[in-house]
């Protein structure tokens, strides 16, 4: 799980980085809002969660959130706020933050809120994922496109589901290997490319727009 920590207080940053690593998260740090916006826009593997301080130098946390929500309405964001009951916190929630914790906070409380936020973000509102004209039924594991039902093998549906949960993002081979095959290393095979090929043949039906784009040296993107 990739977590972006947007925080200018070095003490809090090192406390969070150490704690999150120990819990098995992969923490990344942006020390100001401009860097955060840049990292969110350019990350090859998307972040799973953002911890966002509101009191940042230069661009405020609220502005970071505003910009993020213009592009991505689903990435979970937990606000870290210094004061209780301030307008900033309410503003942040109005702008689409998922939750907040008030500093100083207990690390255990933050972890519990992170787990709850990630859980509710992962559970889709319906049983169907939709990207463009491609639909995937999470219950039956059958995809639908161009008026046809598309049967998928287990690895294929896991792979398609991963891409459909991160539409337009570039996903690297190592991320795909770790999420679909649960390898923490690259076994040096072309298994990912082979399976992308299988799915392409199934969903890129004649007359329909091709949906998987190969990003040379980086991975693949579902468009």
Exposure string of 150-174, with b = 16+ CB inside 10 Å and e = fewer, is bebeeebbbbbbebbbbbebbbbbb
Nearer to Ca ion among residue 8 and residue 88 (C-beta):
8
Q: What span, in angstroms and rounded, lies between the C-alpha atoms of 54 and 65?
A: 9
- Cα 45 vs. chain centroid, distance in angstroms? 8
Nearby residues of 111 by Cβ (< 8 Å), 6 or more positions away: 19, 23
Nearer to Ca ion among residue 45 and residue 53 (C-beta):
53
Nearer to Ca ion among residue 9 and residue 179 (C-beta):
9
CB 48 within 8 A of CB 76: yes
Nearer to Ca ion among residue 79 and residue 199 (C-beta):
79
Nearer to Ca ion among residue 61 and residue 219 (C-beta):
61
Cβ of residue 21: shortest distance to Ca ion, in angstroms? 21
Cβ of residue 88: shortest distance to Ca ion, in angstroms? 11
Which residues contact Ca ion by CB under 5 A? 8, 53, 55
Cβ of residue 9: shortest distance to Ca ion, in angstroms? 5
Cβ of residue 178: shortest distance to Ca ion, in angstroms? 32
Q: Strand, coil or helix: what is 97?
A: coil
Nearer to Ca ion among residue 35 and residue 162 (C-beta):
35
Question: In DSSP terms, which residues pair with 4 in a beta bridge?
Answer: 28, 50
Element holding 154 (H helix, E strand): helix 154-165
Cβ of residue 1: shortest distance to Ca ion, in angstroms? 23
Q: Supply 40's token pair.
A: 């969110």
Cβ of residue 8: shortest distance to Ca ion, in angstroms? 5
- Residue sitting closest to Ca ion (CB): 55
Q: What span, in angstroms and rounded, lies between the C-alpha atoms of 156 and 142?
A: 11
């Amino acid at each position: 799980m990739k977590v972006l920590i947007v925080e200018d207080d070095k003490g809090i940053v090192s406390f969070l980085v150490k704690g999150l690593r120990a819990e098995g998260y992969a923490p990344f740090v942006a020390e100001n809002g401009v860097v955060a916006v840049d990292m969110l826009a350019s990350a090859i593997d998307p972040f799973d969660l953002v911890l966002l301080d509101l009191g940042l130098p230069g661009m405020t946390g609220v502005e970071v959130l505003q910009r993020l929500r213009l592009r991505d309405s689903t990435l979970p964001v937990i606000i870290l706020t210094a004061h209780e009951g301030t307008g900033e916190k309410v503003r942040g929630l109005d702008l689409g933050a998922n939750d907040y914790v008030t500093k100083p906070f207990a690390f255990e409380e933050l972890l519990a809120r992170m787990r709850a936020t990630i859980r509710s973000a992962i559970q889709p509102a319906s049983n169907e994922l939709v990207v463009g004209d491609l639909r995937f039924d999470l219950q039956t594991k059958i995809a639908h496109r161009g008026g046809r039902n598309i049967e998928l093998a287990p690895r294929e549906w896991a792979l398609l589901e991963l891409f459909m949960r991160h539409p337009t993002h570039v996903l690297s081979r190592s991320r795909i290997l770790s999420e679909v095959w649960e390898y923490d290393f690259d076994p040096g095979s072309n298994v990912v490319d082979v399976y992308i090929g299988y799915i392409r043949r199934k969903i890129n039906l004649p007359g329909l727009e091709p949906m998987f784009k190969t990003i040379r040296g980086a991975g693949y993107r579902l468009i």
